[in-house]
Amino acid sequence: NFAERSEEQVSGAKVIAQALKTQDVEYIFGIVGIPVTEIAIAAQQLGIKYIGMRNEQAACYAASAIGYLTGRPGVCLVVSGPGLIHALGGMANANMNCWPLLVIGGSSERNQETMGAFQEFPQAVRSSIYGRPGACYVDIPADFVNLQVNVNSIKYMERCMSPPISMAETSAVCTAASVIRNAKQPLLIIGKGAAYAHAEESIKKLVEQYKLPFLPTPMGKGVVPDNHPCCVGAARSRALQFADVIVLFGARLNWILHFGLPPRYQPDVKFIQVDICAEELGNNVKPAVTLLGNINAVTKQELASKKSLPMNYYTVFYHVQEQLPRDCFVVSEGANTMDIGRTVLQNYRPRHRLDAGTFGTMGVGLGFAIAAAMVAKDRSPGQRVICVEGDSAFGFSGMEVETICRYNLPIILLIVNNNGIYQGFDTDTWKEMLKFRGATAVVPPMCLLPNSHYEQVMTAFGGKGYFVQTPEELQKSLRQSLADTTKPSLINIMIEPQATRKAQDFHWLTRSNM
Ligand code: ADP
Ligand code: MG
């Protein structure tokens, strides 16, 4: 009769399959038998791909790799007893790899409590992907598979949301930034946690913006391509042995990384650990900084925090290089400015770079720039001249800015300003020094007046002047200067007064140094 027909029945197997489908499970690997065969069939009917394997162990390895590759757990379907025992190898492997995995086993007995097990599916999915990913086991009582229940009596849990993104404590982020900034021989180690976290873009940015050498672990390979110039995979042992600061992005200090201990590492190497698992932090070594959180989010935090600090040479040149027209003349002078600039700023044409030359002369820059601008004007209109000056070097011929303005040459002058020759002081230190030493204060010979507004030398004569302190300001002012072909401009770029050259060629990792 009608009333009876509306009470549509559904098997436990179908309920399980639907619950998996609701959780976005795409693949099931397994070996069927009593009582799980019906589950595999029901899953196939819902479009879930079932792959029958020859041993549960391989099935479980396969399912766990799905978890690593997709971020949603793959399912391993096994029978009770030996089936589950065989799957244990895969479960342990998934756990050790921190890969999400759902193992569903048919068991022989049933008690009332496990009725609730259906409702536990979402929780199983959640614990497999939240926090440190890993394996989960769901036990399905045998008679449950073939039990018929009223369709209306079943309520599937909603698809479990992707894990919430956690970020590290702000003060730790700042500390880490300063430890990296002060490192002489920094090294990033990129592990499979970084791969799982899809942190490729942010880590690549960090590597490039600060010219940090990196070493991938076996499965961290490819997060940043192996052929990247900052990859020091070929000098692995040496990199580990001589780094003074090591940032671990989702890589544990286990046997693969020689436990982080001497003699494979410097005894006083500073580790910065980035991991989603609190229990992992401080394992084997006492880290200098711990960053608990999602690798992608933490890397972005690092990028943001480093941006807010005074820029260093690499940050400046990275942003300049981004916008530099390929055909431009690059004129440069200064100490660090010229040396570091040369390694980052690219030349694509012959006779398009002019610098302090054989005699190492300071004060040649503006004259050279004026000459290049005249040649450009007469022979290839529109071609730009970029003159990259240290603040001290600029001082040697700064008044030629008047000449530049008088002839209206659209030269772009960049002053990389660290308040001194080689290095200077920040305003606070400068004031402290004057206060401390009083009227008779002796000014250190390398110091120049902090925060000098050299851009006003340009505005004084009608050109465009910019005072920039952040990468955003630098990008914007450079874009404007390049767009304006009618006027000269001067961008006064404030950088960290104590900024120095990093071992950015990774000298410590090259043959000649061995
Ligand atoms: P490798 O073998 O490449 O060195 P490990 O397996 O030792 O990598 O380390 C991976 C680490 O990544 C684990 O400690 C794990 O907790 C962590 N991890 C996994 N996913 C994330 C994530 N999304 N964010 C941060 N850490 C993660
Ligand atoms: Mg590791």
For residue range 31-87, list pLDDT tens digits in order.
Answer: 998 889 999 999 999 999 999 999 999 999 999 999 999 999 999 999 888 899 999
- The pLDDT of residue 108 is 62
Ligand 1 atom at minimal distance to the Cα of residue 98: 15
Alpha-carbon dihedral angle through residues 238, 239, 244, 245, given to the nearest 10 degrees:
-160
Where residue 116 falls among pLDDT bands split at 50, 70, 90?
very low
- The pLDDT of residue 2 is 47
Distance of alpha carbon 404 from the chain centroid: 42
- Does ligand 1 have an atom closer than 6 angstroms to the CB of 194? no
Kindly state the tokens that stand for 402: 């008047």
- Does ligand 1 have an atom closer than 6 angstroms to the CB of 217? yes
- Using CA atoms, how far residue 165 sits from 81, 117, 294, 304, in Å, is 38, 28, 6, 17
Contact 204, 178 (CB under 8 A): no
Ligand 1 pocket test: pick from 196, 249, 300 the residue with the most ligand atoms within 8 Å of its Cβ.
Answer: 196
- Does ligand 1 have an atom closer than 6 angstroms to the CB of 183? no
| ipTM above threshold 0.90 | no
Kindly write down the DSSP assignment for every residue of 232-258, as one continuous string. Answer: -GGGHHHHHHH-SEEEEES--SSGGGG
Query: For the chain, what percent of residues have pLDDT higher than 90?
Result: 73
Residue 319 has pLDDT above 50, yes or no: yes
Which residue is closest in CA terms to ligand 1's atom 24?
294
Amino acid at 146: N
| Secondary structure element (H or E) that encloses residue 216, with its range | strand 214-216
C-alpha torsion sign, points 503, 509, 511, 514: positive
Please give the model's pTM, rounded to 2 decimal places.
0.67
From the list 380, 400, 381, the residue with the least C-alpha distance to 389 is 400
What is the Å distance from ligand 1's center to 271 Cα?
A: 15
What is the Å distance from ligand 2's center to 20 Cα?
A: 31
